[in-house]
């Protein structure tokens, strides 16, 4: 196939074309085929191929709205390169208004990458997106928006265990998004970020918005920050806003506190609040209000995101914290301080 043609599934965009349609995932005889809305924009001039996904989790809306605005604004004649915009990656979960997981197999799409073409529905979906979308991209942006049951502060996440080149490029993308803390994650849990590490593709997971809201101002901000990345890499002409290194909120560690019991969750702090190590951050009661367990911060740092739902099950996340290496107890405990120093951030 001509390398100048942009093809995703059965959708084809020739140079100078914008094409909208669907990437189809066949499920089984008990379910209708899943139609994933996609916009392809193929510039008249050559350049990088960029993949941008939204709604990997069904209850996250700001990225969807921001991506729609972006897709309607960019014209092929202004673009140098190619854009693959996946408006709603997890359609069945989105339509079911579900948090984290999908309704067909109960799995979290952001724990299934790079997927399995012979696996369950969500594993097949991850495989399809990996092959058709990320498999031909030079770098990616994965737009998240908290979730229906989450309060969070905006941030971007890159994989700190990727190759030096991929790590540096990913961190640069996080800086250019300029949403809040730029966090190095060491997680290898089947997320899109983990796939980037394995397949040597730079990119970030971005978070903006929360609590199942679709905020117009935040959607516009998402669009503007994506444009800033595209300006920097030469896909579009525009003035680039490059933050000074001293103005970037680099973070070296993220620590998640999960529940180990069922009950009712009462958090004591909001996203962005500062907490001290061993400080109480909330408690769980039974359905009669009797306290079953109190939970404490493992680090001195900030609340990155916080579960707001009253109902909590064993294994559910409660609070996520961020802390810099200079005072990060968990980095020291897990022997990560030295590797962070080598990273020069």
- Residue 141 Ramachandran class (φ > 0 left, ψ -120 to 50 alpha, else beta): beta
Same domain as 264, residue 143 = no
Same domain as 243, residue 162 = yes
Q: β-pairing, 11-13 with 6-8?
A: antiparallel
Contact (CB, 8 A) for 223 and 66 = yes
Length of the chain as a residue count:
345
- The reported pLDDT for the residue numbered 77 is 97
Task: Give the end of a domain, one of 208, 232, 247.
Answer: 247
Give me the CATH number covering residue 291: 2.40.50.100
Same domain as 263, residue 285 = yes
- SS3 label, residue 279: coil
pTM: 0.91
Domain residues for the domain of 210 are: 6-247
Instruction: Please report which helix (H) or strand (E) contains residue 125, including its range.
Output: helix 121-132
- The reported pLDDT for the residue numbered 32 is 82
How many Å apart are CA 223 and CA 171, to the nearest integer? Answer: 19
- The reported pLDDT for the residue numbered 259 is 96
Same domain as 62, residue 25 = yes
Contact (CB, 8 A) for 5 and 42 = yes
- The reported pLDDT for the residue numbered 159 is 86
- Asked if residue 281 belongs to a domain, the reply is yes
Q: Cα–chain-centroid distance for residue 116?
A: 20
List C-alpha distances in Å: 218 to 61, 94, 160, 253: 10, 19, 27, 26
Same domain as 132, residue 152 = yes
Same domain as 160, residue 283 = no
- The reported pLDDT for the residue numbered 186 is 73
- The reported pLDDT for the residue numbered 332 is 46
Same domain as 277, residue 134 = no
345 residues of the chain, pLDDT tens digit each: 577 999 999 999 999 999 999 999 987 777 788 999 999 999 999 999 999 999 999 999 999 999 999 999 999 999 999 999 999 999 999 999 998 899 999 999 999 999 999 999 999 999 999 999 999 999 999 999 988 899 999 999 998 888 889 999 999 999 999 999 999 887 677 888 777 767 789 999 999 999 888 889 999 999 999 999 999 999 999 999 999 988 999 887 788 899 999 999 999 999 999 999 999 999 999 999 999 999 999 888 999 999 999 999 999 999 999 986 544 554 444 444 333 333 333
Same domain as 221, residue 318 = no
- The domain total for the chain is 2
Same domain as 136, residue 282 = no
Same domain as 93, residue 13 = yes
Residue partners of 33: CB distance under 8 A and separation at least 6:
24, 25, 26, 27
Give me the CATH number covering residue 203: 3.40.630.10
């Amino acid at each position: 196939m001509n390398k100048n043609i942009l093809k995703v599934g059965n959708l084809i965009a020739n140079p100078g074309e914008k094409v909208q349609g669907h990437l189809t995932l066949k499920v089984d005889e008990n379910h209708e085929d899943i139609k994933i809305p996609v916009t392809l924009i193929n510039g008249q001039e050559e350049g990088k191929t960029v993949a941008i996904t939204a709604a990997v989790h069904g209850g996250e809306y700001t990225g969807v709205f921001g991506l729609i605005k972006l897709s309607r604004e960019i014209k092929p004649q202004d673009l140098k390169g190619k854009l693959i915009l996946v408006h709603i990656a997890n359609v069945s979960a989105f339509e079911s208004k579900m948090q984290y997981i999908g309704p067909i197999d109960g799995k979290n799409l952001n724990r299934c990458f790079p997927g399995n073409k012979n696996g369950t529905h969500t594993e097949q979906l991850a495989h399809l997106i990996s092959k058709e979308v990320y498999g031909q991209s030079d770098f990616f942006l994965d737009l998240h928006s908290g979730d229906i049951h989450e309060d969070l502060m905006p941030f971007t996440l890159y994989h700190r265990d990727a190759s030096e080149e991929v790590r540096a490029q990913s961190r640069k993308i996080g800086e250019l998004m300029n949403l809040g803390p730029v966090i190095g994650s060491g997680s290898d849990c089947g997320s899109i970020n983990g796939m980037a590490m394995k397949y040597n593709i730079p990119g970030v997971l971005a978070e903006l918005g929360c609590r199942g809201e679709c905020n117009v101002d935040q959607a516009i901000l998402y669009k503007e920050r994506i444009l800033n990345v595209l300006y920097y890499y030469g896909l579009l002409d525009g003035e680039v806003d490059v933050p000074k290194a001293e103005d970037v909120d680099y973070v070296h560690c993220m620590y998640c506190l999960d529940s180990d019991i069922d009950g009712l969750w009462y958090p004591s702090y909001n996203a962005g609040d500062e907490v001290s190590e061993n400080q109480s951050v909330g408690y769980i009661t039974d359905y009669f209000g009797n306290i079953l367990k109190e939970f404490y911060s493992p680090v001195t740092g900030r609340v990155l995101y916080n579960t707001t739902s009253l109902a909590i099950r064993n294994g559910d996340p409660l609070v996520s914290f961020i802390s810099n290496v200079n005072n990060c107890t968990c980095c020291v405990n897990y022997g990560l301080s030295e590797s962070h120093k080598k990273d020069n951030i």
